[in-house]
């Protein structure tokens, strides 16, 4: 398996623009997670899905953030409009069970200028 | 609420043994996980302890004491490539997602 695939690897955008991050989980993994990592706040859970259904979106910062999982092999995280404080590395991870651990994608480094 | 405490930095010499501690406060405990992350890389899963005791996987071992709300990661025969950040994590109070500690930056010196 190719692992969890995220795109793009790097994104630089201007404040106010829409940003879409993409994730392909490992086939057969029922759980998909979006995390954001910054030096100040560490790894923060944004949202997670089970069988394509959003379960916990309490970590989504505000209405500017939205996430979808239209099928078992694809998820998106959208920020509209983007702000400089959204600059971070965004990780997607998938999992079969917690004791098998999460498999993280390589992340998307987002810079909003 | 939940909290996880781990040292921010640890330095050790190549070939030595190092222990990274983690204390946690959470309701409904479901196990303690450990992840490794190299600079610029993604976190990778190391271990999961659901029950008390020591779990060994090669040079790495992980320990859990549920009565003390405490665990540690033990790295033996340290190598330069072990320089990385190490995160402990517990499940959020409800549901399935993990809540990660702030991480311990391990520097292995020659």
Q: Residues 6 or more apart from A100 whose CB is under 8 A from it?
A: B45, B48
pLDDT 10s digits, B38-94:
999 999 999 999 999 999 989 999 999 999 999 999 999 999 999 999 999 998 766
DSSP B85-102: EEEEEEE-SSSS-EEE--
**Chain B nearest C-alpha distance from A74 (Å):** 19
Q: Which residues pair with A38 in a beta bridge?
A: A42
pLDDT 10s digits, A10-63:
999 999 999 999 999 999 999 999 999 999 999 999 999 999 999 999 999 889
**Residue among A43, A50, A105 minimizing CB distance to B96:** A50
Would the CB atoms of A50 and B97 count as touching at under 8 Å? no
Q: Read off the pLDDT band of B27 (50, 70, 90).
A: confident
Contacts of B48 in chain A (CB under 8 A): 98-101
**Residue among B42, B92, B100 minimizing CB distance to A105:** B42
Residues in chain A, total: 113
Query: Chain A interface residues facing chain B, Cβ-Cβ under 8 Å?
Result: 31, 33, 42-43, 45, 48, 50, 55-56, 91, 93, 98-107
Which of B3, B35, B42 to substitute to test the interface with A, most A CBs within 10 Å? B42
Q: How many secondary structure helices (H) and strands (E) does chain A include? A: 0, 11
Q: What are the two backbone dihedrals, phi and then psi, of residue A85, each rounded to the nearest 5 degrees? A: -70, -10
Q: How many secondary structure helices (H) and strands (E) does chain B include? A: 0, 11
């Amino acid at each position: 398996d190719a692992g969890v695939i995220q795109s793009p690897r790097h994104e630089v955008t201007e404040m106010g623009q829409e940003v879409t991050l993409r994730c392909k989980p490992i086939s057969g993994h029922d759980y998909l997670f979006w995390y954001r990592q910054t030096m100040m706040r560490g790894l923060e859970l944004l949202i997670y899905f089970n069988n394509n259904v959003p379960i916990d979106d309490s970590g989504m910062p505000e209405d500017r953030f939205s996430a979808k999982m239209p099928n078992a092999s694809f998820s998106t995280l959208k920020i509209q409009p983007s702000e400089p404080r959204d600059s971070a590395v965004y990780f997607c991870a998938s999992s079969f069970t917690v004791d098998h651990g999460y498999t993280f994608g390589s992340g998307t480094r987002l810079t909003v200028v | 609420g939940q909290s996880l405490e781990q040292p921010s930095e640890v330095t050790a010499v190549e070939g030595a043994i190092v222990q990274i501690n983690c204390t946690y406060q959470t309701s409904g405990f479901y196990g303690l996980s450990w992840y490794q992350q190299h600079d610029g890389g993604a976190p990778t899963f190391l271990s999961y302890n659901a029950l008390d005791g020591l779990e060994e996987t090669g040079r790495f071992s992980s320990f859990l004491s549920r009565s003390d709300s405490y665990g540690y990661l033990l790295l033996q025969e340290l190598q330069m490539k072990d320089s990385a950040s190490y995160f402990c994590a517990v499940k959020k109070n409800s549901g399935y997602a993990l809540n990660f500690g702030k991480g311990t930056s391990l520097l292995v010196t020659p």
